[in-house]
A and B are shown apart, each in its own frame.
Chain A
Amino acid sequence: MKTTFDYLYDTYHQDVYQYIFYLVKNHQAAEDLIQETYIKVLKSHQHFRGESSEKTWLFSIARHTVMDFFRKQQREKNKWFGLFNKEDDWLTVQSTAPLPEEILVLSEEQQLLYAQLDKLTLDQKNVIILRFIQAMSIHDTARILEWTESKVKTTQHRAIKKLQQLMGDNEKG
């Protein structure tokens, strides 16, 4: 098990951690979630059949782990704040955690862009992180998200348009 862990950690850890972090924007939560991801991966690594690349398989497990986390969070929230949220509301995740060091040193404009990511739906955020921050291809992004490639393209287009509008609004404001 240690050998498999070492291999996965050395090969993919930084990328998977970064993906999870940009989704949840909280180090503590990201650490818990990557730990959970490794547990799932180590339990099923022997069953990995190589139908997708190991990297997309790992990211896919991480994505499901994060989605479960958001769903649990939403259920907790619903207990206290009600269930009125329309279908898309819960898919928008707002972060309240302090900015990480890597972001604090950025220009004001880049910090704003980082903050505006929270205003995207979770699907849009997933596409933006995978395509631009992780620099993944449309094909790999589609495999991780279990979507068609055309859906990735459409979601990416809408996300960029929304970010453009949000950044524009902020400049005007």
Chain B
Amino acid sequence: MKKKDEQEKIMTRLNALPPIKSPQAKESLYKKIETQLQPEQKQPRSKYATIFPALATIILVVFVVILVQNQLFTDQASETTVSDYAFDMARENRGEADVVEFSEQEDIIMPKSDIDLSQMNPYQTENIPGITGRYIVNATDDLLERHLVTVVGMSDDAMYPVPLTVITAKEHSLDYYNEQLSSFQFPFLGLTGEAFEFGTFTQTQAELVLTINDLDEMNRSVGSSDQAAIFDQTLRFMFADAYESLVIQDEVGDSVDLGPFGVMDRFDLSPVQGLSYKYLETSTGHKLIVPIERTVNGERFITIDEALVDMQEPVPATDIQSSIPEGVSYTLDLSQEKQVRLSFDQHEVLGDNTTTQEMIEAILITAKSFYFDEVMIMIEGMTEDRVGPYELNKALDVPIGINPLQVIE
């Protein structure tokens, strides 16, 4: 009772906080606004304003084609550097207006054979053979002969780790990790992750070791604090299943100074569990499924019902979209061991469509993070018995990976 009274008191005090007046006069504010709006309204667009950039673009494209042809005819088999222009071209090809600026250190290294102005993105994220899901990797016979490698980037604002599943014919080994991470071009997916360019993974006496090859260069390029955050967020998603911790060292085996993290010689890899999966739309227009460990209020998910509630909440400030549409209602049944049963009430957005498929995929991977093996989805009022590749009213296995991609070779 006393607590309730105290809360009432706080509310009364909040109500009593005074109005704050704007010190700026109406006319002076209007003048400022008018000045900012006028150039757009009054200046007619000169015809040269469209002709000149178009001509410049044609000249640049011809110039780059000549350059590329010259390079293809040389005997050098090593990798070459494609300037920021190539990346900008790729973005233009996708019709995007905003341009990401890259520094000298962030130049993109690509094998010559990958240089293709019509399709600069070196990663295939759709229509991958053997992949039945859009954003998840379901276990299929077609994948038995192939290997899955988890590579983790960060969202552009470094808020969320984004695990990617590279589908490859090569053996899954630390060498492959080293190859993938040092040359992985996260910016093509609207992600960041350059921290790994400077490190090499090795395994000694059952311990995983990350050796920073050139600490000075790494700190110059990204900044030690950024490195630490990226390592901390991403290493767990890559290795927590197999290792409890990771040794971090410099070239001579000494511990590494990672700014605000202090001098580090070991990272604890706490288990990745109890997640709410939602969708992130990146600056390059890619949509990726992302694991979220906490609610917007900073609390961890204890049970799957909490995660399911969170999945209906978008976070517009960080470009996170909900994975279960708002307004959709359901009944959760956890009476079967290792199985999640969800009965959705009839709703106009639910049907054999992309939204529902995305919802099912997010639920499947969320269930996996709470150690469930199967999910059964029922949707009231649906005449079809499936949504994309997923059968309704039947137990579906949880996936083996998320965000599948293949390197275009």
Q: B77 on the interface (CB 8 Å rule)?
A: no
A29 within 8 A of B: no
Residues A135 and B15 in contact in the complex (CB < 8 Å), given A78-B158, A81-B225, A82-B223:
yes
* A163 sits at the interface (CB 8 A): yes
Nearest to A81 among chain B residues (CB) is B225
Distance A38 CA – B33 CA, assembled complex (angstroms): 7
Query: What 0/1 pattern do residues 78 to 98 of A give for CB contact below 8 A with B?
Result: 110111101110110000000
Within 8 A of A (CB), among B2-29: 3, 6-7, 10-11, 13-24, 26, 29
- For A25, give the chain B residue with the smallest CB separation: B20
Contact B297 A124 (CB under 8 A): yes
Contact of A121 among B34, B157, B226, B297 (CB under 8 A): B297
With A1-B37, A78-B158, A123-B297 as contacts: A110 and B16 at CB distance below 8 Å: yes
Residue from A22, A34, A43, A147 within 8 A of B313 (CB atoms): A147
Cα distance A164–B267 when bound, in Å? Answer: 37
Known contacts A86-B298, A158-B297: does B18 contact A103 (CB below 8 Å)?
Answer: yes
Please name all residues of chain A whose beta carbon is closer than 8 Å to the beta carbon of B16 when the two chains form the complex. 110
Q: What's the minimum C-beta distance from B392 to chain A, rounded to whole angstroms?
A: 26
Cβ of B155 to closest chain A Cβ, rounded Å: 11
Check if A132 sits within 8 Å of B14, measured CB to CB. Answer: yes
- List CB contacts (< 8 Å) of B119-150 with chain A: none
- Contact residues of A between 17 and 75, Cβ < 8 Å to B: 17-18, 21-22, 27, 30-31, 34-35, 38-39, 42-43, 64, 67, 70-71, 74-75
Cross-chain contact B17 with A75 (CB below 8 angstroms)? no
Cα of A31 to Cα of B36 in the assembled complex, Å: 15
Complex CA distance for A5 and B32, rounded to whole angstroms: 12
Answer whether residue A172 sits at the interface, using C-beta atoms and an 8 A cutoff. Answer: no
Contact of B159 with A87 in the complex, beta carbons under 8 Å = yes
- A13 interface contact, C-beta 8 A: yes
In angstroms, how far is the closest chain B Cβ from the Cβ of A74? 8
The verdict on B314 contacting chain A, using a C-beta distance below 8 Å, is yes
B181 to chain A, nearest CB (A): 18
| Closest B residue by C-beta to A124 | B297
Q: Decide: A82 near B226, CB < 8 A? Known: A14-B21, A128-B14, A133-B14.
A: yes
A130 to chain B, nearest CB (A): 11
A163 to B14, CA, bound (A): 10
Tell me which of B49-57, B95-103, B227-235 binds A: B227-235
Q: List, in ascending order, chain B residues with CB within 8 A of A163's CB.
A: 10, 14
Q: In this complex, what residue of A is CB-closest to B160? A: A87
Bitwise, A114-137 to B at CB < 8 A (1) or not (0) is 100000010110001000110100
Q: Which residues of B contact A82 (CB under 8 A)?
A: 223-226, 228-229, 259-260
* CB pair A164 B14 closer than 8 Å: no
Task: Give the top 4 A-B pairs by smallest Cβ distance, nearest first.
Answer: A82-B225, A88-B298, A132-B14, A83-B229
B residues touching A (Cβ–Cβ < 8 Å)? 3, 6-7, 10-11, 13-24, 26, 29-30, 32-34, 36-37, 157-160, 223-226, 228-230, 232, 259-261, 292-294, 296-298, 312-314, 316-317, 326
30 contacts between A and B (CB under 8 A): A1-B37, A21-B22, A22-B17, A22-B20, A35-B29, A35-B33, A43-B37, A67-B316, A74-B157, A81-B260, A82-B229, A82-B260, A83-B226, A84-B225, A84-B261, A87-B292, A87-B294, A113-B17, A121-B297, A132-B11, A133-B15, A135-B15, A147-B313, A155-B297, A161-B7, A163-B10, A164-B3, A164-B6, A164-B7, A164-B10
